[in-house]
Structure 1
Amino acid sequence: MENRHEESALNHSTTLTNKQRGNEATVRPATLDVLSIHQLSAQGEISQVETHLAKDSFLLNNHDERGFTPLMWAAAFGEIAMVEFLLQKGADPKTLAWERESALSLASAGGFADIVNILLKHDVDIDSYDWNGGTPLLYAVRGNHLKCVEALLRCGADITFEADSGYSPIALAVALGHKKVQKLLEDHILKLFREPV
């Protein structure tokens, strides 16, 4: 009989509750009032960003730990209204992050053609390159973002620039099998040859 009692005790559930384990939430989850201006920009929270800027205008072009500004985060996440708002407030679209990323390269990599077009109107360096030689055009080609490639070509992006990997935009399009982007680049090259010098 004693054996049965021991067996029963061993089979008894040893599952602890969250309270017993000490896993109860002691702090409330992150809310809009505790997010940084960079996080709020990436989420498109214009009213919250405006509140931060009213308290400290220096935050407009402030770099985070990666060197990204609020404008870069908005561009990277496709937050067009935020991009427009930050530019209107005086955000610098020419700023480069610690590894030379730009708002234009981040928008190009994400395929956000509307943002690419907005940034191109602000006299940004269309051929700025980052730590591995990637340009906005190379990122747009890599992502197979046809409308971004069109916008960049229309504004004079350098089609001969090669990343550190050795790929030019056309070679990258061929290697990745992005046929529409490849045709677009080929047509652009032909057009350049036909233009009078």
Structure 2
Amino acid sequence: MSMKKESPWDVELHLSAARGDSKRLQVLLESGRVHVDCKDKDGTTPLILAAAGGHVEAVTELLQQGADPNAKRLTSTTALFFAAQGGFLDVVNLLIDHGATVDSCSIDGGTPLFVACQCGHLDVVVSMIERGANANAHMKDGATALFIAAQNGHVRILEVLLEQGAKTDAARTDGATPLWIAAQMGHDHAVRRLLKAGAKVDTTRHDGATPLFKAAHKGHTAVIGELLKYRPSLGILPVIFRVSK
């Protein structure tokens, strides 16, 4: 539905959803004075607010009243995106049961699976993959769910994604891989797991920087130790060195 100027009834419905007040939601919706999918200036619906707060009863009430589980904000984020971000497994499953698109993308290409990986919500990640989420989907910059998990050091999530066939060396548009970003961030356990899964130790970003270079530059000694077990090249910035000559 198109956005219009919010009425006092719209505002009250939004506030009730944000508070998780399912009884007040029912009263307001049954009054006929407000639409279940009324939007604010950012395109946010009551269902999105209730899902973002993890309010299961409010989400249930809104869905029963006909709320669109795939309604999007101006950023193209949905109720499922925010439920996944918050780690609200019950809400995630409820939304999917009512037709929420599992791999719905935000304007930057991020999916609910991405934010669950970013925030470390293992149970949500497992459930979403079981419900059909694509483990190899990527954002506009090429980052995959595996990249996001590696960036944040969530090893158990890495393992789940790898078990589901996530591509170990899938690179961002700048050439950085999950191993590269894990090395830069100092996540030695993630580095160890990725190397064990077959990640290429000498993968380079487009500027020529290797995982070993980034680990050394940042002073991540534990990461350096893990990388050295796989005999990386010690010519850690060949491209830059050639250009500078």
- TM-score strictly above 0.5: yes
Matched residues in 2 for 1:102 and 1:34: separation?
19
Structure 1 residue 150, shift from structure 2 partner: 0.8
User: Pairwise mapping of residues 135-150 of structure 1 onto structure 2 (< 5 A)?
Assistant: 135-150=111-126
User: Which runs of 5 or more residues in structure 2 are unaligned?
Assistant: 1-8, 167-245
1:162 aligns with 2:162: no
User: Which runs of 5 or more residues in structure 1 are unaligned?
Assistant: 1-32, 191-197
1:80 aligns with 2:56: yes
Q: Do the aligned residues in 1 keep the contact of 2:103 with 2:134 (CA within 8 Å)?
A: yes
Q: Do the aligned residues in 2 keep the contact of 1:120 with 1:126 (CA within 8 Å)?
A: yes
Q: Which amino acid aligns with 2:31?
A: K
State the partner residue of 1:111: 87
Structure 1 residue 58, shift from structure 2 partner: 4.0
When residues 167 and 61 of structure 1 are mapped into structure 2, their CA distance, relative to the original with a 3 A threshold, is same
**Deviation readout 1:81-132 (Å, 9 max, x if unpaired):** 1111111111111211111010111101111111111111122211111122
State the partner residue of 1:127: 103
Q: Do the aligned residues in 2 keep the contact of 1:38 with 1:70 (CA within 8 Å)?
A: yes
Q: TM-score, normalised by structure 1?
A: 0.75
**Deviation readout 1:108-162 (Å, 9 max, x if unpaired):** 1111111111111122211111122110000110110111101110011111111
Matched residues in 2 for 1:140 and 1:34: separation?
30
Matched residues in 2 for 1:52 and 1:180: separation?
43
Q: Which amino acid aligns with 1:90?
A: G
1:63 aligns with 2:39: yes
Moved more, 55-64 or 111-120: 55-64
Name the SS for the 1:67 alignment partner: coil
State the partner residue of 1:47: 23
Shift >6 Å, 4+ stretches: none
State the partner residue of 1:91: 67
Larger Rg: 1
State the partner residue of 1:188: 164
1:173 aligns with 2:173: no
Q: Which amino acid aligns with 1:138?
A: F
When residues 78 and 169 of structure 1 are mapped into structure 2, their CA distance, relative to the original with a 3 A threshold, is same
Matched residues in 2 for 1:76 and 1:112: separation?
8
Q: Do the aligned residues in 1 keep the contact of 2:103 with 2:133 (CA within 8 Å)?
A: yes
Q: Do the aligned residues in 1 keep the contact of 2:71 with 2:78 (CA within 8 Å)?
A: yes
Structure 1 residue 57, shift from structure 2 partner: 5.6
Matched residues in 2 for 1:113 and 1:74: separation?
14
Relative to total residues, which structure has the larger helix share, 1 or 2?
1
Matched residues in 2 for 1:83 and 1:165: separation?
33
Q: Do the aligned residues in 2 keep the contact of 1:52 with 1:59 (CA within 8 Å)?
A: no
Q: Which amino acid aligns with 1:136?
A: P
Q: Do the aligned residues in 1 keep the contact of 2:85 with 2:112 (CA within 8 Å)?
A: yes
Q: Do the aligned residues in 1 keep the contact of 2:146 with 2:161 (CA within 8 Å)?
A: yes
Higher relative contact order (CA 8 A, sep 6+): 1
Name the SS for the 1:60 alignment partner: coil
Q: Do the aligned residues in 2 keep the contact of 1:37 with 1:59 (CA within 8 Å)?
A: no
Q: TM-score, normalised by structure 2?
A: 0.61
When residues 35 and 69 of structure 1 are mapped into structure 2, their CA distance, relative to the original with a 3 A threshold, is closer
Work out the percentage of aligned pairs sharing the same amino acid. Answer: 32
Q: Which amino acid aligns with 1:132?
A: D
Query: Matched residue pairs, number?
Result: 158
